[in-house]
């Protein structure tokens, strides 16, 4: 080879190297881009990336003007940026993303609807600085260049993205496999990342985020995350499709085989289906009423004539399963041993004499005659007094199976009567379901929270219960699903409620109401000592080691200072808390823990129940009333005051409408009782009535006598005895009417240390419900008029003592003469 040829080869190599270097340059470096370009706002679900060729459509006036300007003045270069909200027809600068793509227009074509299809080539990503255009967007731009060096991490990311794209293409039909050829010979990481981003699925926000990511390594990582997520979703979809396909094929295969088997059986002499044969034998051999057998045989004949794959066939099978498995005759034998039943009831519950007595009476009548109808008993009382557990004890005492059905929040009548079989997924009502589950026709069924049922467009469940809870009708109860009469007369239905007024009158009339009032402190003490603590001890230890011992004073401290409730649920929670802490202490010291009041304070912290202190001395205008609450009884201090004014009545303390009416009645009665001597005080002063604990709503008429006493006291300036509490409704004539909740109210006075209680005369019969240990320590004064209340409640001054004494003497003489006349 001569020197000339060698030199030519060297020149050719230099020229090829230069051309290869130019080819490796990005389009951005090969095209001269001005600082200002016209811009088109994109509102399609597409983001244009550099180094890609894509078409898009232009139709808005501003966009067409920018397109025309680009073709005439900027060498076919235009800036494309996406709108944040595609619905905006005339976007402003604030409606656009900051980063877009500089593209070169390759081809423009007009469509029949006067829009233009534009084919563009992405050149570079750029960020617009400000708008300098008037008729259309024209932005000053800052080109975003990636500064990076080739590294092993970039090469690895490119390989991983390529693999994930291959996986995605295998599962998805949106991208043809030939498209991946674009990435085969690309070794420029920036170009590779842009092409991959254009192929990557994702939302418009994710695509815009990829466009705004300048460094190719970061862009490739985000692409990997999106591809991995989409590929995983596509894999799950493919698995689900495969399962559905297999199930369909299996169903078709089974249908084919069953039809073939049917044909074979017909050829062999029409052998009967095994399932139908079993049902037929069950009908013939089972102990069913005649009307049930006839219905079952009719349904079986229908089943035989239809294809086993017909939708109606499965409905008939389910129906036959229900009616053939109901306990039409099966029942348990009642325990008629009265002593055993009484022992079981006393073992499970302390007190509750009235409900226990009623059950023993029923058992006694059952012992003499089987014709006695089961009573419908309704236990009414506050939460936690043992209504539900008492129903379980009754079932145990009678040797019957027990089932519970909660009616709280029930709004659908079909829950009681069942659904018609015409509905998809129809089922019998919950009563029939419960009876089938128990397997006998005479269980004890507890209908819990009967006072909390609702009414909706689906019907009134309370009305549906009228037939169930009527001993005269429930002998032939018909469930909509079963469509056959079922005898519920032997079921002992027990219902529970917290209040009676929410139960419809017709339903309440069908039940025998037994009120279970709140427990006294003495009852709570014995319940805790003899029932709750032994039960907790059995739960907490299986060994014979004595872990803890409760002092009686500790139990009483928990009752008085840590619980305020009619029942014993909170008491049990507090006892459990003490036992847990005592158990922890035992494991540390291995010594029996003696739980004293001091230990209780240490375990449970400061006392939680802080009632208002009793009045230390008689005060003018402050009377002690008694009120009933869902948590039991409480004392209520009614305060009255005279304020200079013009005779207005001021009422505070969040009183209800009924109690406000009682205040107005009391005011009118007080004016009448005080007479003309005190009339100026009613006109020259405003009268303010306040009931403390203003955040607690109060209502009811039973504070009438208390309010009247407070008003008379403040007007006449006579103190009211602080050792007397009272309750009763008042009338304008001064009559004292009976009220409810006497037991709870008397117990509240007893807890406060008040020994004298004024009660309406007609409430004297309610003293039977008050425990003896309370009655023997209290003085009850029964009144019929407000004069008798004031005679006891107001402190007598020296001046009026003699007058009252004379009046009482006259009154006694009058009563004596009346009796003599009679």
DSSP state of 44: S
383 is in an annotated binding site: yes
Q: Are 550 and 529 spatial neighbours (Cβ–Cβ below 8 Å)?
A: yes
Where in 46-134 does DSSP place strands (E)? 53-58, 77-82, 99-110, 116-131
Q: Measured between alpha carbons, how far apart are the two ends of the chain, in Å? A: 162
The answer to whether 381 is annotated as binding is yes
Which residue in the block uniquely carries the two structure tokens 């219902």?
495
Strand partners, 533: none
- Distance, CA of 621 to CA of 651 (rounded, Å): 14
32 is catalytic: no
Cα dihedral 573, 579, 585, 587, rounded to 10, equals: -120
201 is in an annotated binding site: no
Which residues, listed in sequence order, are joined to residue 494 by a DSSP beta bridge?
Answer: 377, 446
> How far apart are alpha carbons 461 and 407 in whole angstroms?
9
Say which of 581, 599, 716, 745 is annotated catalytic: 745
Helix (H) or strand (E) holding 197: helix 189-199
109 is in an annotated binding site: no
Instruction: State the virtual CA torsion across 123, 128, 132, 135 in degrees, nearest 10.
Output: 70
385 is in an annotated binding site: yes
Task: Determine whether 702 is an active site residue.
Answer: yes
Separate counts of helices (H) and strands (E) for the chain: 29, 26
388 is in an annotated binding site: yes
Q: State the Cα–Cα distance between residues 498 and 379, nearest whole angstrom.
A: 8
Task: Tally the residues of the chain.
Answer: 822
Determine the 3-state secondary structure of 287 from DSSP.
Answer: coil
Q: Of the residues 198, 662, 702, 713, which is catalytic?
A: 702
The CA distance from 504 to 512, in Å, is 14
Packing angle between helix 569-589 and helix 533-540, nearest 10 degrees?
Answer: 40
Take residue 573 and report the two structure tokens written for it: 């929670």
C-alpha–C-alpha distance, residues 498 and 696, integer Å: 20
Pairing of strands 632-644, 649-652: unpaired
> Using CA atoms, how far apart are residues 198 and 161, in angstroms rounded to an integer?
13
**Residue 172 structure tokens:** 């998805």
- Residue 487: other Cβ atoms inside 10 A: 15
398: three-class secondary structure by DSSP:
helix
Positions marked catalytic: 702, 745
As annotated, the binding site for ATP includes: 381-388
As annotated, the binding site includes: 381-388
């Amino acid at each position: 080879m001569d020197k000339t040829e060698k030199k030519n080869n060297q020149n050719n190599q230099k020229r090829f190297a230069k051309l290869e270097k130019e080819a490796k340059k990005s389009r951005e470096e090969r095209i001269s881009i001005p600082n200002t370009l016209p811009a088109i706002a994109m509102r399609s679900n597409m983001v244009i990336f550099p180094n890609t060729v894509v078409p898009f459509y232009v139709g808005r006036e501003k966009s067409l003007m920018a397109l025309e300007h680009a073709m005439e003045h900027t060498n076919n270069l235009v800036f494309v940026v996406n709108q944040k909200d595609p619905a905006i027809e005339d976007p402003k600068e604030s409606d656009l993303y900051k980063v877009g793509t500089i593209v070169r227009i390759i081809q423009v074509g007009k469509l029949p609807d006067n829009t233009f299809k534009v084919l563009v080539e992405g050149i570079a990503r750029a960020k617009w600085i400000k708008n300098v255009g008037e008729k259309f967007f024209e932005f000053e731009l800052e080109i975003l260049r990636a500064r990076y060096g080739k590294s092993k991490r970039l090469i690895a990311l490119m390989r991983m993205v390529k693999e994930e794209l291959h996986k995605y293409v295998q599962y998805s039909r949106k991208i043809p496999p030939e498209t991946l050829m674009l990435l085969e010979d690309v070794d420029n990481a920036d170009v590779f990342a842009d092409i991959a981003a254009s192929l990557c699925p994702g939302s418009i926000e994710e695509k815009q985020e990829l466009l705004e990511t300048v460094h190719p390594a970061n862009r490739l990582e985000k692409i990997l995350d999106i591809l991995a997520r989409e590929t995983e979703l596509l894999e799950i979809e493919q698995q689900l499709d495969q399962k559905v396909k297999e199930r369909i094929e299996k169903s078709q295969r089974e249908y084919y085989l069953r039809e073939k088997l049917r044909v074979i059986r017909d050829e062999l002499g029409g052998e009967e289906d095994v399932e139908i044969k079993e049902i037929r034998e069950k009908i013939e051999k089972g102990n069913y009423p005649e009307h049930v057998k006839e219905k079952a045989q009719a349904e079986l004949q229908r089943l035989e004539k239809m294809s086993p794959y017909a939708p109606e066939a499965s409905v008939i099978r389910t129906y036959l399963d229900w009616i053939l498995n109901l306990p039409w005759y099966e029942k348990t034998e009642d325990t008629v041993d009265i002593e055993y039943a009484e022992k079981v009831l006393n073992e499970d519950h302390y007190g509750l004499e009235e409900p226990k007595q009623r059950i023993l009476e029923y058992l006694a009548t059952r012992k003499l005659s089987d014709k006695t109808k089961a009573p419908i008993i309704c236990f009414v009382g506050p939460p936690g007094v043992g209504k539900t557990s008492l129903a379980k004890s009754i079932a145990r005492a009678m040797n019957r199976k027990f089932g519970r059905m909660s009616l709280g929040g029930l709004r659908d009548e079909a829950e009681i009567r069942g659904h018609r079989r015409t509905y998809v997924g129809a089922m019998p009502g919950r009563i029939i379901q419960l009876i089938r589950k128990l397997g006998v026709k005479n269980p004890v069924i507890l209908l819990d929270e009967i006072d909390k049922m609702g009414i909706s467009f689906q019907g009134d469940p309370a009305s549906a219960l009228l037939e169930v809870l009527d001993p005269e009708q429930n002998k032939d109860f018909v469930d909509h699903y079963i469509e056959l009469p079922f005898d519920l007369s032997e079921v002992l239905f027990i219902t529970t409620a917290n209040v009676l007024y929410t139960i419809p009158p017709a339903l309440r009339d069908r039940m025998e109401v037994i009120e279970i009032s709140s427990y006294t402190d003495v009852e709570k003490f014995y319940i805790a000592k003899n029932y709750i603590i032994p039960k907790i001890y059995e739960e907490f230890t299986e060994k014979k080691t004595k872990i803890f011992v409760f002092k009686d004073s500790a139990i009483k401290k928990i009752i008085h200072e840590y619980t305020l409730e009619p029942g014993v649920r909170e008491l049990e929670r507090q006892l459990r808390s003490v036992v847990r802490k005592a158990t922890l202490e035992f494991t540390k010291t291995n010594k029996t823990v003696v739980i004293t009041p001091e230990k209780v304070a240490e375990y449970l912290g400061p006392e939680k129940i802080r009632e208002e202190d009793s009045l230390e001395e008689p005060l003018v205008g402050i009377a002690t009333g008694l009120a009933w609450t869902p948590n039991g009884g409480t004392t209520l201090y009614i305060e009255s005051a005279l304020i200079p004014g013009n005779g207005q009545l001021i009422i505070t303390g969040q009183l209800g409408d009924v109690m406000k009416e009682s205040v107005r009645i009391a005011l009118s009665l007080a004016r009448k009782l005080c007479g003309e001597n005190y009339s100026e005080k009613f006109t020259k002063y405003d009268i303010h009535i306040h009931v403390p604990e203003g955040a607690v709503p109060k209502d009811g008429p039973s504070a009438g006598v208390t309010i009247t006493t407070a008003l008379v006291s403040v007007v006449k300036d006579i103190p009211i005895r602080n050792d007397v509490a009272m309750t009763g409704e008042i009338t304008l004539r001064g009559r004292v009417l009976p009220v409810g909740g006497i037991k709870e109210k008397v117990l509240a006075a007893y807890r406060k240390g008040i020994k004298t209680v004024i009660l309406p005369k007609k409430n004297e019969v309610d003293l039977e419900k008050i425990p003896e240990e309370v009655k023997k320590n209290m003085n009850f004064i029964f009144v019929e008029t407000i004069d008798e209340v004031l005679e006891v409640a107001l402190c007598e001054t020296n001046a009026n003592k003699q007058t009252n004494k004379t009046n009482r003497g006259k009154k006694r003489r009058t009563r004596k003469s009346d009796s003599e006349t009679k």
